[in-house]
Amino acid sequence: MVLKELFQSFTPYEWILSNKFGGYTYGNAFLANSRKYHGLLIAGKEDGERIHLVNGVEEKVSFSGFEFFLDTNFYKDIIYPEGYKLIKEFFYRPYPSFYFCYPQSKDFFLEKTIKMDKNKNTTLLSYKNISLHPFKLELRPKFTFRNHHTVQFERSWRQAKKEIKILKNGAFLSKNGISLFIFITQGKIFIEEIFYYQVYYPIEEIRGYEATEDLFSPFKIEVELNPNQIFYLIFSETFIENINKEIEIIEKYYKNYPQLNYTTKKFFNYNEYLKILESMIEDFLIKDNIIAGFPWFYCWGRDTFIGLPALFYLKNGKEITYNIFQKYKSYLKNGLIPNVIEKKGNVNYNSIDATLWFGLRIFQYIEFFKDIISNKEKKELIEIIKEIITQFLTNSLLPFRIDWEDGFIEIPENVNLALTWMDVIIDGIPLTPRYGKPIEISALWYNLLKFASKYFENSFLKDFKINSLIKKQKRGFLKYFNGELWADRIFKNEPIFKVRPNYIIALSLPFDIGDKTSLLKGLEIAKKELLTPYGLRSLSPRHPDFRKKYFGSQYMRDLAYHNGTVWVWLLYPYSEVLKKVYKGKKRILLEELDTLVKPFRERILSGKMGSIPELYDGENPYYPKGTHAQFWSVAAIFLIEKEIQKLQGGL
């Protein structure tokens, strides 16, 4: 059975659980690792590094003289074994759970679940006998011990300095200073070294990367499982003194969320769905920051602050958000926050909008929490924005400048940088070089100054002529709209009328850049040329540069990334424009907003969607593309649902 057929039989969506270090466990519905990132334990490190430790487990069942496997593996020319054929039901939330049936009778006999400790690099597997008969499990964990972006082969293990030990309730494995503990609650564990050669990751080959790997398995576990009995298998980066207590901690966390099961409850209700959405937001939270997307992204300033308002609604949301502001304040350099934070020392400041979103969200935070924010906190945050505005207006070393004729930020043609969210660079050259005055940059800058005029003292406003700049900008926005279309940017004093969603971002912001008629025209064009069931296209299909599919090698995907590919996060600014256009028309607005979230809501209600992806194809969007768990995508759907609740009187 090919990958496409597996997606059709199960679902193309994937499951993900994470911890507060950026570690994760990740896979698909048929439990066959199709990516190098799939695995049971990928340990997160404080500097952003992720170490792939556990690929999976070979699972053999013995029952009344029969033997069969539960696991599934891809090899170049074969799928073996074919355990996916025994998966009769599955759910992704609040944790991945899979229900297996006997190959002969098709009766359910085993429930397998995967859970993760939010505060440790620890994964908990459970195997529960849900049949009327005992059976034997024989398990072989398969290990990788590598950076999660890479693959490796037998020689890496042969040449490594490694240690293999049996412990009282488990085992220990180390390779070149990387350690892992394995714990079991019953049964026996033996040292028995084998390799699984040339395991194949088909999605990696599709994406143009090395797609085979050798896996090391030094242990075999045997356990007898009676009816209603549960066997636990723990993989942990750190030694666990009390196994039962660790199991209790992990189980207790997930009991805070609504549960599904294979017999009586296969769908969440609406309130439970909202709780699950909240848990999806929490997946991205690490200490004082936010992971942009799993599995391959780390922390991005732009993504963080675009999706940040979703955090306002979380328990302790005020404190979480405040700490994130403080984190990025510590990175502030020449009035800019970083767009990309990877490993220590690898910080990228090539962005204008990340900083503008940062400033805008500070003002919105102040207004959202106006009744409980302290004067000290408020003053501290406002000082950050003063520093940003001062640098933007005075620092000639920045890769952009202020045009004092219209008050807008201008990106010079000679900087050779991609400073907006359309930031693909191929061979050192920006693919969508939005030189000049991109509309969303102009609108963000205008909104920041408008908020400043409301909150800053007169002396600052006068010194930097803020009110004069605002008046110039207000007049300057007239050039972006020709009565029918909104321009994507102003370049060499001329509007560039390319239908991209950037004008929707601009129109969505708190302070309007156009009148009701221009908003309505903008919405009509977006509905006709950009809107799909899963997000907004990054370019109109009518444009010659439009690319239908986000597919193939890195180069081919980069060509499509901002040239037609559908982005989920853009549904949120689109919804904000809807609110403006349909203000006072509650019934119509509710219908419009409900339509935006319905495809995601239905899948999450059924437990068949683990998170919300980054992208879809520009034409016939069906398969999720890009990262399968993207912060600003989840935030977009979450925030639209919050608006629906408000309209229904639920908030």
380 and 344 in one domain?
A: yes
Q: For residues 622 and 36, which has the higher predicted lDDT (pLDDT)?
A: 36
Which residue range is the domain that position 177 belongs to?
Answer: 14-263
* Per-residue confidence band for 46, with pLDDT thresholds at 50, 70 and 90: confident
Q: What is the DSSP letter of 330?
A: H
For residues 606-620, average pLDDT: 97
Share of the chain above pLDDT 70, in %: 99
Give yes or no for residue 343 having a pLDDT over 80. no
614 and 529 in one domain?
A: yes
What is the DSSP code string of 155-177?
HHHHHS-EEEEEETTEEEEEETT
* Per-residue confidence band for 47, with pLDDT thresholds at 50, 70 and 90: confident
Q: 3-13: per-residue pLDDT in tens? A: 999 999 999 99
141 and 214 in one domain?
A: yes
What is the longest distance spanned by two Cα atoms in the chain? 87
What is the phi-psi region of residue 440: left when phi exceeds 0, alpha when psi lies from -120 to 50, beta otherwise?
alpha
557 and 462 in one domain?
A: no
Cα–Cα distances (Å) from 523 to 438, 446, 580, 587, 624, in that order, read 19, 21, 10, 18, 25
Q: Is residue 596 part of a domain?
A: yes
**Burial of residue 293, with CB atoms counted within 10 A of its CB: 0-12 exposed, 13-18 middle, 19 or more buried:** buried
434 and 391 in one domain?
A: no
Q: 413-435: per-residue pLDDT in tens? A: 999 999 999 999 999 999 998 99
Token pair for 364:
């919105």
Q: Check residue 651 and give its pLDDT.
A: 60
Q: 211-254: per-residue pLDDT in tens? A: 999 999 999 999 999 999 999 999 999 999 999 999 999 999 99
Q: 74-96: per-residue pLDDT in tens? A: 999 999 999 999 999 999 999 99
Give yes or no for residue 275 having a pLDDT over 90. yes
Residue 221 carries which side chain, given as an amino acid letter? Answer: I
Q: 118-166: per-residue pLDDT in tens? A: 999 999 999 999 999 999 999 999 999 999 999 999 999 999 999 999 9
Instruction: Identify the CA nearest to 112 among candidates 122, 91, 101, 98.
Output: 98
Query: b/e for 23-39, b at 16 or more Cβ within 10 A?
Result: bbbbbbbbbbbbbbbbb
259 and 318 in one domain?
A: no
Mean pLDDT, the chain, whole residue set: 96
* Per-residue confidence band for 648, with pLDDT thresholds at 50, 70 and 90: very high
Cα–Cα distances (Å) from 70 to 17, 83, 86, in that order, read 21, 4, 7
Q: Is residue 45 part of a domain?
A: yes
- With beta carbons less than 8 A apart as the criterion, state whether 324 and 290 touch: yes
Q: Check residue 306 and give its pLDDT.
A: 98
520 and 495 in one domain?
A: no
Instruction: Identify the CA nearest to 88 among candidates 262, 222, 232.
Output: 262
Q: Write down which residue in 237, 263, 289 finishes a domain.
A: 263
For residues 187-206, average pLDDT: 97
Angle at 216 between CA 212 and CA 220, to 5 degrees: 135
Domain containing residue 211: CATH number:
2.70.98
For residues 264-276, average pLDDT: 97
Give yes or no for residue 105 having a pLDDT over 70. yes
Crossing angle, helix 270-282 and helix 586-605, to 10 degrees?
Answer: 70
306 and 258 in one domain?
A: no
Give yes or no for residue 381 having a pLDDT over 60. yes
Between strands 566-567 and 535-537, the pairing is antiparallel
Q: Check residue 344 and give its pLDDT.
A: 62
Q: In what order do the strands lie in the sheet with 489-491?
A: 437-438, 489-491, 494-496
Q: Is residue 176 part of a domain?
A: yes
Omega cis (within 30) before 624 = no
Give yes or no for residue 400 having a pLDDT over 90. yes
* Helix residue spans in 395-438 (DSSP H): none
Cα–Cα distances (Å) from 282 to 53, 94, 484, in that order, read 23, 12, 41
- With beta carbons less than 8 A apart as the criterion, state whether 470 and 450 touch: yes
Counting the structural domains of the chain, the total is: 4
